[in-house]
Chain A
């Protein structure tokens, strides 16, 4: 009745690492985007 089958719990690891790399790259851009505001605003004010 009970079937014994091999379950690979690391099947998705590759994708996860890809996601991680994407995340890191995007995160850098995202943070730079957000913090680019100050200078611009200051320039505008001047």
Chain B
């Protein structure tokens, strides 16, 4: 092979390598996780999102006018994937919508032993009935206590928000976002939403606390929140840390193969060591 040919070949390989490298990058870029930004300063507590959610998923459709549900603090339940709560704060009433945070690295999917809980490549975390064995490890692990269980059923489901995964695939927005009359909910990629949230804080520094809940919490979540009062006052846990939850079990799971290689070797060694001792004694 002469020099020129060699160069050609290597050049070709290099070029194709570079191309695949680019491809990989591009792939990552257009698979941005989607999320929703909740601006609690814009929420008026009309609970249209609760209603829309119930209708979209065949769950309980609350009677918003008459049920006085805002009087109590509620959590999402096995009948309602999302609820709105009212908090009395320094700046008056604040309404907060609650649902699954669609963590970037969810505890629930790391917990699930059948991958019934799944982080989809689009971003929403969904639950798949045919796989679930009903062990409720996802419930024990979720830092936000989101997955709920149908204890009353012989064939129980795990219920939690799936960010309207089916609607997203039809190119629609989540039902709650569409139903919101004030624009308190906004759907988009997390990158876009972060930019919008920062702009709002920047333009109205007196109106917002300078923190976006969900930016770093438990490694970042798909659902983001803006608030006018410190987040502790409106029912958020701010002590969860920024470590993604699967990291907590990572070391243990790494250690498993090590022990599996190491322990039998050690034990077999010990076995033969003690054996030799015996025979020499005899």
- Name the residue of chain A whose CB is nearest to the CB of B209: A1
Q: Does B42 contact A (CB under 8 A)?
A: no
Interface string of A14-36 (1 = CB under 8 A from B): 00000000000000000000000
Q: Does B79 contact A (CB under 8 A)?
A: no
Q: Report how many A-B pairs have Cβ atoms within 8 Å.
A: 6
Measured as residues with beta carbon below 8 angstroms from the partner, the interface class of chain B is: under 10
Q: Does A2 contact B (CB under 8 A)?
A: yes
B236 to chain A, nearest CB (A): 13
- Point out the residues of chain A lying under 8 angstroms from B209, CB to CB: 1
Q: Does B211 contact A (CB under 8 A)?
A: yes
- Point out the residues of chain B lying under 8 angstroms from A1, CB to CB: 209-211, 230
- Interface residues in A1-21 by Cβ distance below 8 A to B read 1-2
- Name the residue of chain A whose CB is nearest to the CB of B208: A1
Return 6 A-B CB contacts under 8 Å, by A number.
A1-B209, A1-B210, A1-B211, A1-B230, A2-B210, A2-B211
Q: Give A contacts to B, CB under 8 Å.
A: 1-2
Please give me the 6 A-B residue pairs with the lowest Cβ-Cβ distance, nearest first. A1-B210, A1-B211, A1-B209, A2-B211, A2-B210, A1-B230
